[in-house]
Amino acid sequence: MAAQAPITTLVPFADRAQLPACAAACGHLYDANGACVPPAIPTNTPAAYTSCFCFDPRLAPFSTTTAGVCDNACTGDPNGLASITKWYHSVCNVKNVAAPTTSTSTTTTSGGASAPQRTDGAPSGDW
């Protein structure tokens, strides 16, 4: 028996008003989408699916940069990664914080990329 395809698609791959064509070549977007909708998880609300998607560790770099998720997907579209990142920020309520222009401090962190921070006041899941 073949595996059931996801019944919900969070990523609007065919909607060029939201995402560039090169987004369809980004495997991590497909993987995160598939991991966060039935049949991979139980039937739930759209908000639960979106929260799962936004906190998928494969997409975490999008919370701070355009690099690290779909690097090879948009080689022919110089604005492609920025468009995908902008869409991710919009869907996942990631704050766009301007980098300080006068600061000279350096912060060092250990570990991998952090998950995006929700700004809509909704609690994050603990899966």
Domain ranges within the chain, ordered by starting residue: 21-92
Burial 19-44 (b: 16+ CB within 10 A, else e): bbebbebbebbbebbbebbeeeeeee
Tokens of 99: 């980098």
Which pLDDT band holds residue 102 (cuts at 50, 70, 90)?
very low
Mapping DSSP to helix (H, G, I), strand (E, B) and coil, where does residue 25 land?
helix
Closest CA to 92 of 50, 57, 60, 121: 50
Tokens of 47: 């908000």
121 pLDDT more than 60? no
More confident residue, 113 or 55: 55
Residue 119 CA to residue 60 CA, distance in Å, equals 15
